């Protein structure tokens, strides 16, 4: 492992405790390719998630996978039209896309993440009310418990 100070000068390992601004070259530690999964919904906010994930993908030199887990909401007016627009937007940015029907949602997200070797998940802030989270549990917490070793990014709702 190469250790450098904030000026890019190599620092001997025995002096690292004396230098608070040490920078580690993480590429030597983590050789696993970066794969970023975007949890895409059928609403317009998903395009914001896709944009954020695309920025992250470019910064980390990673691949994008846009995933939609189909639920009972697929009967909502405009569901399939808006979902296809979101997936097309993701494909135009170079993402692979995947739509699956699976439940429960947190387990489905974790299953896709593990089978696709995902290293990062980008998802939107929960639209559930605090009361619904108390009654049914937080989806984000469920995903955190089910996806050990995967970084999760929560994008705030712009409204």
Are both 60 and 17 inside the same structural domain?
Answer: no
Domain housing 90 = 32-155
Are both 17 and 92 inside the same structural domain?
Answer: no
Q: What is the pLDDT of residue 81?
A: 93
pTM of the complete model: 0.75
120-159 pLDDT tens trace: 999 998 665 666 666 667 888 889 999 989 999 999 877 7
8-34 pLDDT tens trace: 666 665 544 555 555 555 555 556 799
Per-residue 3-state assignment (H helix, E strand, C coil) for the chain: CCEECCCCCECCHHHHHHCCCCEECHHHCCCCCCEEEEECCCCCHHHHHHHHHHHHHHHHCCEEEEEEEECHHHHCCCHHHHHHHHHHHHHHCCCEEEEEECCCHHHHHHHHHHHCCCCEEEEECCCCCHHHHHHHCCHHHHHHHHCCCCEEEEECCCC
* Number of compact structural domains in the chain: 2
Are both 44 and 107 inside the same structural domain?
Answer: yes
Average per-residue pLDDT for the chain: 82
47-77 pLDDT tens trace: 999 999 999 999 999 999 999 998 776 777 8
Confidence at 114, pLDDT banded by 50, 70, 90: very high
Q: Are 66 and 40 in contact (CB under 8 A)?
A: yes
Are both 118 and 135 inside the same structural domain?
Answer: yes
Are both 16 and 59 inside the same structural domain?
Answer: no
Are both 24 and 39 inside the same structural domain?
Answer: no
Q: What is the pLDDT of residue 74?
A: 72
Are both 75 and 105 inside the same structural domain?
Answer: yes
């Amino acid at each position: 492992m190469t250790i450098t100070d904030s000026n890019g000068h190599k620092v001997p390992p025995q002096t690292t405790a004396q230098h608070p601004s040490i920078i580690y070259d993480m590429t030597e530690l983590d050789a696993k390719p970066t794969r970023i999964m975007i949890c895409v919904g059928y609403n317009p906010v998903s395009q914001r998630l896709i944009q954020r994930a695309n920025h992250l993908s470019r910064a980390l030199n990673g691949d994008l996978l846009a995933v939609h887990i189909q639920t009972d909401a697929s009967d909502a007016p405009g569901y399939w039209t808006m979902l296809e627009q979101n997936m097309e937007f993701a494909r135009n940015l170079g993402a692979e896309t995947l739509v699956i029907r699976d439940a429960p949602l947190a387990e489905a997200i974790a299953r896709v993440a593990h089978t696709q070797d995902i290293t990062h998940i980008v998802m939107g802030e929960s639209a559930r009310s605090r009361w619904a989270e108390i009654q049914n549990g937080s989806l984000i917490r469920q995903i955190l418990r089910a996806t050990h070793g995967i970084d999760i990014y929560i994008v705030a709702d712009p409204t």
